[in-house]
Structure 1
Amino acid sequence: MASYLRVSLSFIFSALLISPAVSQSCSSQTFSGDKSYPHCLALPNLKAFLHYSYDAANTTLAVVFSAPPSKPGGWIAWAINPKATGMAGSQALVASKDSKTGVASVTTLNIISYSSLVPGKLSFEVWDVKAEEEAAGTLRIFAKVKVPADLAANGKVNQVWQVGPGVSPNGRIQPHDFNTPNLNAVGSLDLSGATTGVSASGGGGAGNSRIHKRNIHGILNAVSWGILFPIGAMIARYMRIFESADPAWFYLHVSCQFSAYVIGVAGWATGLKLGSESKGIQFNSHRNIGIALFAIATLQMFAMLLRPRKDHKLRFFWNIYHHGVGYSILILGIINVFKGLSILNPEHTYKTAYIAVIATLGGITLLLEAVTWVIVLKRKSANSNNPPKP
């Protein structure tokens, strides 16, 4: 009983210590001068905060957005999207620190599409814009915004916020991550401050849906191009050496490769769907390799229908084509799986698991290659010692 009482008191005491810290997370932030921001939101993603005030008489929204960049020397952004809920179409304020002078500044971006991230004038008036750096590398954006009449009448605006890793020498911001917090960094801002939280504006569900599709895309392609195709090639190369395995090895090989192709096409289709839903977001090398894989794998499937007989004079050239294309699929498939893993940026265990699978298949390949050569050399030796009778 005494032990239970001590644990309970300890828990209550800890809660009393923690609760004020949590409740003061907004109010603990101070600003220079006589600036006052009666409303503050601890935004649900990316460790961001938004202090703001709204003057309904002249529809002026004064904001202070603060967040830590994803990497030292990175950028932060806060935006209003007048017509939609995502980043495309938003009017953004982007803060970053100059790598040479160390001075933080703000750039305005009219994000027409994900591929158009160049400085430009916003669709509404904005003034008193500046940036500051807080302790521990956190950046702040100060600005006043003239809220468009239709949004002011509605009493709410769609806000988007984001953080990124850096700015290139030509001034273009580097792409942000596409993890769950990044994709869910959207919401509806109540100008009056009556709603103290950030209500979802559809972006969170869409973000989760995209993540789910990306995971499906990754799994399908890793299983097909990255695992089944190599196994099918191993079956063809190492089972056929055993005379008793003919023609079973051939049917196993075809079944494995056809299954890999079907799964790969499904993964390729999910990639096309993701691309159509993410205008302007392109991973060129990953996409181009994927298109090449689909094209040559399709040719490989149709080539099976044109396979000459073993004694046909064209069989030698068909074998060269078939083996060359097959090994190209193996190499490109494994490369593209690793490129996909770098894009998805999953937990290290997934990448480690795939490396372990490939290493295991590689080890088995080396062992079977040695066994195959031993068998081939023994057969050649036996044939040379037993010449055919006249």
Structure 2
Amino acid sequence: MALGCNLRHQTSDGGFKMYQKCMDLQTQEASLAWTLYPRNCTIDMVFSGSLPSPSGWVGWGINPKSPNQMTNSQVLIAMKDPNTGQPILLPFVLDPSVKLQQNPVLSRSLDIPIITSSLILRGNSVKIFSLYKLHPNKTSLNHVWNRGIYVQGYSPTIHGLSQEDLKSTKTVEMLSGLASPNDYYALKTSHAIINSFSWGFLLLLGVITARYLKHFLPLDPSWFYMHVGVQVTGYGLGISGFAMGLKLASVSDSGGISGTHRKLGFAIVSLGTLQSVALFFRPKKTNKYRKYWKSYHHFVGYACVTISVVNVFQGFDLLGLSPDSKAKLVYCLVFSSLVGICAALEINSWVIYCRKKKEENEDEGGSTEEEPDFNKLSCRK
């Protein structure tokens, strides 16, 4: 069992340092604590572990290429100098030959940007301190750690082969501090999918239903109930996606969240809530205030849909999706299809209106033509 993580650690000069976040690595009594400095893209870390034997070794490092793998990892290994017995910290690169055990592992300089490193070894307790330079916009690190019972000269021997020893890897989202980066990315992906579908698709579909479906469903309540059903579903899903966004913002220290994206999200939820509440105050058709309610309902609805679509593309940019990414292409295809359907139905509505108006004028014997009243084409609820 792991000992758990601590934010407060003693340093080599006898003082103490407080870190912002920590994580129990859950194998080999290991833990990790760190402080991230976004301004200069550095992260101050301390790895805590324990020697399995007085002549053993403990190592921690980063795999810059692949998650959940020791091969190609670049590590710092703590051991006692075989000649003096003093604690030493040596760098090693675990190339594929290490896994095959063809030759002893020899210390060599690291290629990853570790700025400084130091070691505290007291009894069997090991603390490896490091200051690491992060790549811009990449706060996820593939951590590896392990330990062995003895060394040969200055070379660590093979580590244990138990399930605990073989699972000593973890990819950590250092910005969020979540226990598992997979949870962070799953939350981010779910937020993107749900909000794109709800605010960016269902709301637009609800508008299309209200504006055009009544021409195909003569019974007055049918299109209205379909419109309400689609909008309520979209609003419900959108609120759950909004809650995910709040969670993402709370665990990311606002470092990876765009202020514009967040503000637009609050605006969308506010407008959507106003629309939902307004449903309970809808006047009857004979009420003189009905036309004012309809104008308000249309304005808020169209504003909500417009801002939602804009914010969906803002979210795509935050995810770092390229213009030819599948997710963006699928949404653009669906969105353009809906816009095309709207255009076709709008033209059809005007054709129907003009034809009916012409027939009415002919029946009345009138010779004047009136300009089409756009408001008469709007949805009546």
TM-score, normalized by the shorter chain, greater than 0.5: yes
Letter of the structure 2 residue corresponding to residue 319 of structure 1: K
Paired with 1:260 and 1:227, the residues of 2 have a C-alpha distance of: 8
Letter of the structure 1 residue corresponding to residue 89 of structure 2: L
Is 1:46 the counterpart of 2:65? The answer is: yes
Q: Secondary structure of the equivalent of 2:242? A: helix
Q: Percent identity over the alignment?
A: 27
* Cα deviation, residue 349, structure 1: 1.2
Higher helix proportion, which one?
Answer: 1
* 2:125 alignment counterpart: 154
Is 1:175 the counterpart of 2:137? The answer is: yes
Is 1:188 the counterpart of 2:142? The answer is: no
Q: Secondary structure of the equivalent of 1:328? A: helix
CA deviation map 1:245-267 (0-9, x unaligned)? 42211111011100100111111
TM-aligned CA distance change 1:159 to 1:208, over 3 Å:
farther
Paired with 2:115 and 2:92, the residues of 1 have a C-alpha distance of: 7
Conservation of the 8 A alpha-carbon contact between 2:58 and 2:78: no
Bigger drift between 365-374 and 335-344 goes to 335-344
TM-aligned CA distance change 1:160 to 1:342, over 3 Å:
farther
CA deviation map 1:104-161 (0-9, x unaligned)? xxxxxxxxxxxxxxxxxxxxxxxxxxx99xxxxxx654655332467x8533648796
* 1:263 alignment counterpart: 237
Conservation of the 8 A alpha-carbon contact between 2:194 and 2:241: yes
TM-aligned CA distance change 1:293 to 1:54, over 3 Å:
same
- Trace 1:26-175 onto structure 2 (pairs within 5 A): 43-46=62-65, 49-50=73-74, 52=76, 54=78, 56=80, 59-63=87-91, 141=113, 145-148=117-120, 153-155=124-126, 157=128, 163-164=134-135, 174-175=136-137
Conservation of the 8 A alpha-carbon contact between 1:239 and 1:245: no
* 1:203 alignment counterpart: 172
* 2:306 alignment counterpart: 331
Conservation of the 8 A alpha-carbon contact between 1:162 and 1:185: no
Higher strand proportion, which one?
Answer: 2
Letter of the structure 2 residue corresponding to residue 246 of structure 1: D
Conservation of the 8 A alpha-carbon contact between 2:264 and 2:311: yes
CA deviation map 1:1-31 (0-9, x unaligned)? xxxxxxxxxxxxxxxxxxxxxxxxxxxxxxx
* 1:313 alignment counterpart: 288
For structure 1, the residue ranges without an aligned partner over 5 or more in a row are 1-37, 67-130, 133-138, 165-173, 177-181
- Trace 1:191-270 onto structure 2 (pairs within 5 A): 193=156, 199-200=168-169, 203=172, 206-241=180-215, 244-270=218-244
* Cα deviation, residue 336, structure 1: 1.4
TM-aligned CA distance change 1:276 to 1:189, over 3 Å:
farther
* Cα deviation, residue 43, structure 1: 4.5
What is the TM-score when the length of structure 2 is the normalising length? 0.60
Q: Secondary structure of the equivalent of 2:286? A: coil
Specify which of 293, 315, 334 is matched with residue 268 of structure 2: 293
* Cα deviation, residue 194, structure 1: 5.1
Bigger drift between 290-299 and 240-249 goes to 240-249
Paired with 1:140 and 1:183, the residues of 2 have a C-alpha distance of: 14
Is 1:370 the counterpart of 2:370? The answer is: no
